[in-house]
Each structure stands twice: as C-alpha cells, then as structure tokens.
Amino acid sequence: MAAAIAVAPAAVSVRVRANPKLPMSSLCYKLNNVRPDLAAHLEKSVESVPHVQAVTFDAQNARLVVEHDGAREEDVVAALREEGFAPEPA
C-alpha cells in the first residue's frame, strides 16, 4: 500500500511590470569595496525601488546593473546610499 505524501507548492515570486508599454532601460554603477556576502542584500535593496525589474551585481568587476521600466535614477542612488554604498556611474 502506497502512502500519500502531501507536497506544498513552491513559492514563486513574479514581478509584474508597472507599464508593459514602456521600454526597459538599464542603469550601471561601479560599487567599490562590496563584500560578496552583501551582494544579495544590495540587490534586494535596489529591487524595492518602484519600476525596478531586475538587479545584477557582478562582484568580480564591482558593477551593478539595474533593469527598469521607468525607475527614477535618484531613487536607485538613494537606495544604494541608504545601505552605505557610494555608487559611481559606470
């Protein structure tokens, strides 16, 4: 006799674009002295900015790329500074 096993569905995070008609744009920043263990925290901080769709941090090149559909650059920079980072345009 086979036992029934209940499996909970995996949590799925879906980000819906605020306005799919707006083109995607990118912002690039140079961030020096970022420890690798802070990369995920850094990405989450920037992802919380309205209209940010994706954030990628390349630790090897100290480069942060922000994909967005209308995010204000001032808000992205403010989120980085609030976390103690000093972004420079890349």
* Residue 36, pLDDT score: 81
Q: What are phi and psi of 56, to 5 degrees?
A: -130, 130
Which two structure tokens, joined as six digits, stand for 35?
């420890």
Q: What is the mean pLDDT of residues 18-31?
A: 84
* Residue 3, pLDDT score: 56
Residues in CB range of 63: below 8 A, 6 or more apart:
28, 29, 30, 31, 57, 90
User: What band does 63 get if pLDDT is binned at 50, 70 and 90?
Assistant: very high
User: What band does 12 get if pLDDT is binned at 50, 70 and 90?
Assistant: very low
CA distance 6 to 4: 7
Q: What is the mean pLDDT of residues 56-78?
A: 94
* Residue 61, pLDDT score: 92
